[in-house]
Structure 1
């Protein structure tokens, strides 16, 4: 099929190391044969669920489902019983691939799925209700991975390394299907541990901010990545201190990019373009963006492009003339670069008549050498409407109080942006991709 043409398509060269997961390797010929064996088993099923563990079995199962023309539903490996039941029932999956034998082979011939036939059903995080199934077609996935390959100059000569979950856009769509489409070997380290990244010998590395922070904490591992070509960070904003530390240790200015389950990657720094801390770059090929600002220069980001979702499982996509409202607050510079300020629901704080981006205050807090993590939200305030409220993790043993941090931010930013309240906490609540779950701030902390 076209989506996998780089590795499994006609005329593609057989790579002895097409996919490696946790030290286990399949050649491109073996991957195709194993995936066709799965495809033969499930051919005719409209929707196939895959228990998405970090394994060769998951890669073979996903590829097999796609070759069979089914809509593949990756079920998070950490899903609890209620979430798993919802995903299986909501998607209507008639087959669940929870055990796959990667040693089986088949040479069955199957028709190529139509471009607009469903390919992946990926479930959102469900922060505002039950997770919704996002339907991507073969055409939307192809447009998405091709636009990223163009932005990053991703070729068969690359060797991709990552250890991200195989049930999100970052780890699965980019990290598996992107590599297969580009024809570049994939090394999945099972866990995104610094020493595993350092030993993998890649040219292209994917990580979330937590991964890059941990790598920077092990300078020897970070320096081993100096031989790479690109270091890509996504799924959450990369703190400025981590950006700078990573650049100092590896000699590489990291690439940041922006996307959602519904949109895939729509904005990214380019391999041949300027990169700045906190800047996610410019629209990728085929994408248009606009910022709907009611006042000032920040507002809700809207995107339009061929990689957007086609629909949800039980409802149409909420598109306006092809535009998708992301719910994220952004600033767009005159030359087309973007900075994501945060979510409209949690990261745009309206305090005393000012509109304050939580990300700007978080960056200011993280500039303090004793601050390890920071998250900022708006909390109800009788006079101001909302008060800038910070949750901060400081280094063990640091003699640092809340008032010290308030003063530190006030020296960097406008005084009205300083936190009114600072909570010193042991940890921030995060999901599997390392994103801070701000909806949980103010409740029981981890």
Structure 2
């Protein structure tokens, strides 16, 4: 099995690798720090990583991957019950932390190993480099299916499940994205994503390191930080829809931000659908289209648009232009199909036929840790993974996500309706700041469409009839909301995803 990080030994020693705030590591320093740590944890079984947005988290995960030790990222914001479940389920030998970190009681007697990046960085000489090479050679005993990470799902339908992500999945996803986005070692990525999940850790940290590029982590998202880093040479920005919504809101009064975003080679949104309204506002102000990508913990990345830079300025390939409201087409190596409730394949690319997304490919996880029942239930008899996401495909194969099967598929009056497209339509109304759509039982329709609205002006919210007519005019009459609730804010998780199960009907 080849190294996940050939750039660690192939890049110039002084090439920047990681920067968090004022702290940074070159590739030589990263190789020394991660190599030294890899030597200490080799053979440890599994290790947990207290995944704060710090250099130590990045070094800890890289070290585990060099040593061939599966890493379990822990969300520092998780409650005691969830942390206790994850630690008991994954049984790590120890937890890697930054020096001086206060750990919660939920971690019990789990041993800890502090990562002193400063000391390891000072040792970036021949002896330390040799230590790194020794750790890297441990990869020769690994296979493509050897576990690399155990990433826990959000636990919306029960206790979080540990998705075992193999080395091949990380390599396949990052290389497919490199092909789609022409991602190279010349790129500098800026983001402010948490490091305990796929988007922030695998794409946002391991992605640049696999390419030999660099990453600048903002610590906390803010328009000033984005402006500063893009003006200082960053070429790519990764974010979630909440972040891009804030950028879109700030653009009219912040010409410096608009200019900075216009300089970016690539703006990427993921983890949830980016509303069409925000797509259009950003494009109009910056001349840049946000590219969406689609994936999940168990599958890593599945779809995206493609990008290439012809003269005179970056734009998009004719075979993969970013199209607002879609997540592009399947990435190289990914097989994707839509199926009916009975499992039969939907072959019509008509932009209307809603089906569940099922996928196959080298980017998939191998199992849910200690859950053979859940693993078996997640796959069909012929090896396709059931994502639980509902989508339609346009005539040219573009995928439009319309929601989750469990929470976003509304069966009303004989129609299958995706909540996502109604939410996009509502967000196009000037009096709507945020929107979520759910279904609730209806004696006549089976289910009726319910809208949860955060108005742009709380003192003057739009009328329910006005919103219903707005949706009916843009989509179809049967998709209009029958009930409208007004809220001060929508409940969201750490990734900015709306927690629809927390929306209670009267």
| TM-score with structure 2 setting the length | 0.85
| Aligned residue number for residue 208 of structure 1 | 240
State the secondary structure of the residue aligned to 2:494: coil
Q: 2:289 aligns with which of 245, 248, 253?
A: 253
Q: Does 1:52 align with 2:51?
A: yes
Gaps of 5+ in 1: none
| Aligned residue number for residue 310 of structure 1 | 366
| Aligned residue number for residue 416 of structure 1 | 478
1:5 CA drift (Å): 2.4
* Length, aligned pairs only: 443
| Aligned residue number for residue 34 of structure 1 | 33
2-structure distance, mates of 1:134, 1:239: 29
1:66 CA drift (Å): 1.2
State the secondary structure of the residue aligned to 1:103: helix
State the secondary structure of the residue aligned to 1:302: strand
| TM-score with structure 1 setting the length | 0.96
1:168 CA drift (Å): 1.0
Q: Does 1:385 align with 2:417?
A: no
| Aligned residue number for residue 101 of structure 1 | 116
1-structure distance, mates of 2:221, 2:269: 13
CA separation of 1:300 and 1:15: change in aligned 2, threshold 3 A: farther
Which residues in structure 2 correspond to 1:205-354 (within 5 Å)? 205-219=237-251, 220=254, 221-271=257-307, 272=317, 273-293=320-340, 297-316=353-372, 317=375, 318-320=378-380, 321-354=382-415
1:14 CA drift (Å): 2.5
Q: Does 1:433 align with 2:480?
A: no
2-structure distance, mates of 1:308, 1:51: 25
2-structure distance, mates of 1:12, 1:347: 46
| Aligned residue number for residue 119 of structure 1 | 148
Q: Bigger CA drift: 341-350 or 104-113?
A: 104-113
State the secondary structure of the residue aligned to 2:118: coil
Q: Bigger CA drift: 209-218 or 435-444?
A: 435-444
Contact 2:455 2:461 (C-alpha < 8 Å) held by counterparts: no
1:402 CA drift (Å): 2.3
Contact 2:4 2:171 (C-alpha < 8 Å) held by counterparts: no
1-structure distance, mates of 2:97, 2:171: 26
Residue-by-residue CA offset, 1:290-334 (whole Å, 9 max, x unaligned): 111358611101111101001111134333333111000010123
CA RMSD of aligned residues (A): 1.6
2-structure distance, mates of 1:315, 1:193: 40
1-structure distance, mates of 2:226, 2:470: 35
State the secondary structure of the residue aligned to 2:302: strand
State the secondary structure of the residue aligned to 1:150: helix
Residue-by-residue CA offset, 1:395-426 (whole Å, 9 max, x unaligned): 13434222321222222221111100000111
1:52 CA drift (Å): 0.3
| Aligned residue number for residue 460 of structure 2 | 398
Residue-by-residue CA offset, 1:162-204 (whole Å, 9 max, x unaligned): 1000011110010011111011110111112111111112111
Residue-by-residue CA offset, 1:356-401 (whole Å, 9 max, x unaligned): 1111111111110111110001011111111100000011343422
| Aligned residue number for residue 68 of structure 2 | 69
Bigger Cα Rg: 2
Contact 2:49 2:60 (C-alpha < 8 Å) held by counterparts: yes
Q: Bigger CA drift: 130-139 or 332-341?
A: 332-341
